[in-house]
């Protein structure tokens, strides 16, 4: 009788253990199995384009370039790759394209140099890497990632960042690689406007088109944010800064929390625009905090910061964002923002893609 009781007890224990293993296994794996969605959003700068000064041919070139960047990131995400890999891949394409103000085609400083900044952040771990003021690194976004993964620091600048890139085997180029004639002409126009200070240029009225041209030549940035099939978020931003910038100026793009931020609890964000104002508003982190601690939606929080607080302070620009549920926000308070997204919301669902330049 005692032996029978022991057999029954052992069988009950085995069955209970089996159910526990099945339950725990489902619990651990469910976030990966259930997350069949991926989203990638990119931007190529806000405030840098005028509908009145664009031709159909130019618009086609920009849209094709945005689609190339989306495709690079999509190749990573659709295979179940990391959001971090996807945003790096997309930004590298934009850095190599002279149409954008990042990498090749970056704007010139007052001293006639190209000084590049970049940042990347992993929403799963809050790990981040950034570089600023570099002049010889072909793809700053990849060096920013190396800083995150292969150093004990978050941000490196100037010669130190370049030495780090060299030691890690990242591609370095002669500074002339970044030069383009269009950006050089922009610098000459900016220098000419500076010379008008002696004529009290602040008292000279600017035509609307001229004022917009000044903004066009002032800044522009590229960036990407992504949600991968594992439910992880990432953000990346790269820029040449502002035309005619002085004294080693650094904008918001490489500053974690200002121009770049990602947190799996809220959203991934990459900003573009007048960096001084994004820094003062701690733009990206402020939006994430409103979501995490205030319960606001991504769209509401982003609109509040970009469409209200930013212009109220005197700045302009825009941003791209994706939250942990796959919702997208792309607000901007300028005439245009190069932007696009690609997404698939279920395993066998349709792939949705869109690129745009101006306000709808």
* Residue 231: predicted pLDDT: 97
Contact of 326 with 341, CB cutoff 8 Å: no
Report angle CA 125, 96, 94 to the nearest 5 degrees: 55
β-pairing, 221-227 with 336-344? unpaired
Looking at residue 263, the DSSP 8-state letter turns out to be -
* Residue 348: predicted pLDDT: 86
- Is residue 22's pLDDT more than 50? no
* Least confident span in 90-104, 323-337, 346-360: 346-360
Q: How confident is the model at residue 35 (pLDDT cuts 50, 70, 90)?
A: confident
β-pairing, 116-122 with 317-323? unpaired
- φ, ψ at 269 (rounded to 5°): -140, 140
CA distance 78 to 58: 30
237 is catalytic: no
First to last CA, the chain: 81
- Is residue 32's pLDDT more than 50? no
* Residue 285: predicted pLDDT: 98
Catalytic residue among 143, 221, 272, 334: 221
Could you read off the pLDDT of 65-97 as tens digits, one per residue? 999 999 999 999 999 999 999 999 999 999 999
Could you read off the pLDDT of 164-218 as tens digits, one per residue? 999 999 999 999 999 999 999 988 988 887 776 544 544 544 444 444 444 445 5
Could you read off the pLDDT of 300-331 as tens digits, one per residue? 999 999 999 999 999 999 999 999 999 999 99
Q: Which of 211, 214, 258 is nearest to 239 (CA)?
A: 258
Q: How confident is the model at residue 48 (pLDDT cuts 50, 70, 90)?
A: low
Secondary structure (3-state) at 40: strand
**C-alpha of 31 from chain center:** 25
Q: Which of 67, 52, 76, 44 is nearest to 240 (CA)?
A: 44
Contact of 234 with 223, CB cutoff 8 Å: no
* Residue 281: predicted pLDDT: 98
- Is residue 143's pLDDT more than 60? yes
Q: Which of 233, 280, 261, 263 is nearest to 319 (CA)?
A: 261
* Residue 318: predicted pLDDT: 97
**Tokens matching residue 316:** 């302009």
Secondary structure (3-state) at 22: helix
- Is residue 236's pLDDT more than 60? yes
**Tokens matching residue 66:** 């945005």
């Amino acid at each position: 009788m005692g032996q029978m009781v022991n057999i029954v007890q052992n069988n009950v224990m085995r069955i209970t253990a089996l159910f526990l293993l099945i339950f725990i296994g489902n619990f651990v794996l469910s976030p990966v199995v259930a997350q069949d969605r991926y989203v990638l959003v990119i931007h190529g700068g806000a405030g840098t384009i005028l509908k009145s000064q664009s031709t159909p041919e130019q618009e086609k070139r920009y849209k094709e370039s945005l689609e190339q960047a989306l495709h690079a990131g999509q190749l990573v995400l659709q295979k179940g790759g990391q959001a971090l890999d996807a945003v790096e891949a997309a930004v590298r394409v934009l850095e190599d394209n002279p149409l954008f103000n990042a990498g090749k085609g970056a704007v010139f400083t007052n001293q006639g140099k190209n000084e590049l900044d970049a940042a990347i952040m992993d929403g799963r771990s809050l790990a981040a890497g950034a570089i600023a003021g570099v002049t010889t690194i072909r793809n700053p976004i990849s060096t920013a990632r190396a800083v995150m993964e292969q150093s004990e620091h978050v941000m490196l600048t100037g010669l130190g960042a370049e030495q780090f890139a060299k030691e890690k085997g990242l591609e370095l180029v002669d500074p002339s690689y970044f030069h383009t004639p269009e950006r050089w002409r922009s610098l000459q126009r900016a220098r000419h406007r500076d010379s008008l200070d002696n004529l009290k240029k602040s008292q000279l009225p600017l035509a609307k088109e001229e004022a917009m041209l000044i903004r066009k030549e002032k800044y522009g940035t590229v960036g990407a944010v992504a949600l991968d099939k594992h439910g992880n978020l990432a953000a990346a931003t790269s820029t040449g800064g502002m035309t005619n910038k002085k004294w080693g100026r650094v904008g918001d793009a490489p500053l974690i929390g200002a121009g770049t931020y990602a947190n799996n609890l809220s959203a991934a964000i990459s900003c573009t625009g007048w960096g001084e104002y994004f820094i003062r508003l701690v733009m990206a982190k402020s939006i994430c905090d409103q979501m995490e601690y205030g319960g606001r939606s991504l769209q509401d929080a982003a609109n509040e910061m970009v469409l209200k607080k930013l212009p109220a302070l005197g700045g302009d620009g825009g941003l791209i964002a994706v939250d942990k549920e796959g919702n997208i926000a792309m607000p901007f308070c300028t005439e245009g923002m190069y932007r696009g997204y690609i997404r698939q919301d279920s395993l066998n669902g349709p792939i949705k893609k869109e690129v745009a330049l101006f306000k709808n």
